[in-house]
Amino acid sequence: DSGVTQTPKHLITATGQRVTLRCSPRSGDLSVYWYQQSLDQGLQFLIHYYNGEERAKGNILERFSAQQFPDLHSELNLSSLELGDSALYFCASSTYSDTEAFFGQGTRLTVV
Amino acid sequence: AQKVTQAQTEISVVEKEDVTLDCVYETRDTTYYLFWYKQPPSGELVFLIRRNSFDEQNEISGRYSWNFQKSTSSFNFTITASQVVDSAVYFCALQPTGANNLFFGTGTRLTVIP
């Protein structure tokens, strides 16, 4: 158990809908990262937050947004969902930006 | 640009055989970190090792060992006396110092046959 908690584990939704994925980092970790794992794109970095502030953006679509709250948990919001958004979404946390990241179990999103 | 290549898409070995997973990386950064993660069938990503580019010493942890060679930009992972529980997809990743994220390879699916 990495100590990173992601909910829900599975999510099935229809095209055009909006969903929110939640991540609780390991106790004491200030950094939260979101990654998307799909068959065609592999593991892709989406966004990084550090102590509530956005630090870096990767290949994140404009339809996607995230935030990190004062208690350090994070949410990834996906809107206007398309079939191609079906993927495994991982959250990872680390103490700082340059320490090893530990991943949660992922949320498997299926868009139908 | 950062790039990690895992040329072996799939490997099958018989239990108790040794197996080496290859990882070659490209970066213009002079300092960086290299990682290996394991993704078992259950789907989570399990951290295995982080290595600083300054440290080229090989590392051994139980049946796992890692060979880092800066001259060939490789960071290979060997499992000795493989077991069925080692069956998983293994990812190599690169993080330049100061970067916020990991750059992952495409993974190697290892199947250990009993």
pLDDT digits (tens, 9 = 90+) for A8-37: 999 999 999 999 999 999 999 999 999 999
Q: What are phi and psi of B16, to 5 degrees?
A: 85, -5
B101 contacts A48? CB cut-off 8 A? yes
Position A39 scores a pLDDT of 87
Answer for the pair A14, A112: CB distance below 8 angstroms, yes or no. Answer: yes
Position A53 scores a pLDDT of 95
Mean pLDDT of chain A: 94
pLDDT band at A96 (very low <50, low <70, confident <90, very high): confident
What is the 8-class DSSP label of residue A28?
T
What is the 8-class DSSP label of residue A2?
-
Given a cut of 80, whether residue A98 has pLDDT beyond it is: no
**CA–CA dist B108, B114 (Å, integer):** 19
The first and second tokens of residue B42, run together, are: 């259950």
Position A102 scores a pLDDT of 93
Position B55 scores a pLDDT of 86
CA angle B5, B15, B81 (to 5 degrees): 75
CA B39 vs. chain centroid, Å, equals 11
**CA–CA dist A82, A8 (Å, integer):** 19
Nearest by CB: B101 against A56, A103, A108: A56
**CA–CA dist B23, B7 (Å, integer):** 8
Position B35 scores a pLDDT of 95
A42 contacts B104? CB cut-off 8 A? yes
- What would the pLDDT profile of A45-91 be if each residue is shown by its tens digit? 999 999 999 999 998 999 999 999 999 999 999 999 999 999 999 99
**CA–CA dist A15, A84 (Å, integer):** 10
B47 contacts A2? CB cut-off 8 A? yes
Tell me if chain A has a CB within 8 Å of the CB of B102.
yes
Residue ranges in chain B modelled with pLDDT below 50: none
What does the radius of gyration of chain B's CA atoms come to, in whole angstroms? 14
**CA–CA dist B106, B34 (Å, integer):** 15
Answer for the pair B8, B60: CB distance below 8 angstroms, yes or no. Answer: no
How many C-beta atoms lie closer than 10 Å to residue A14's C-beta?
Answer: 8
In order of A15, A18, A44, A68, B105, the CA distances from A109 in angstroms are 12, 11, 15, 21, 22
Position B58 scores a pLDDT of 85
A45 contacts B103? CB cut-off 8 A? yes
A2 contacts B44? CB cut-off 8 A? yes
Nearest by CB: B50 against A88, A100, A104: A100
Position B46 scores a pLDDT of 93
Q: Which residue has the tokens 């290979």?
A: B76
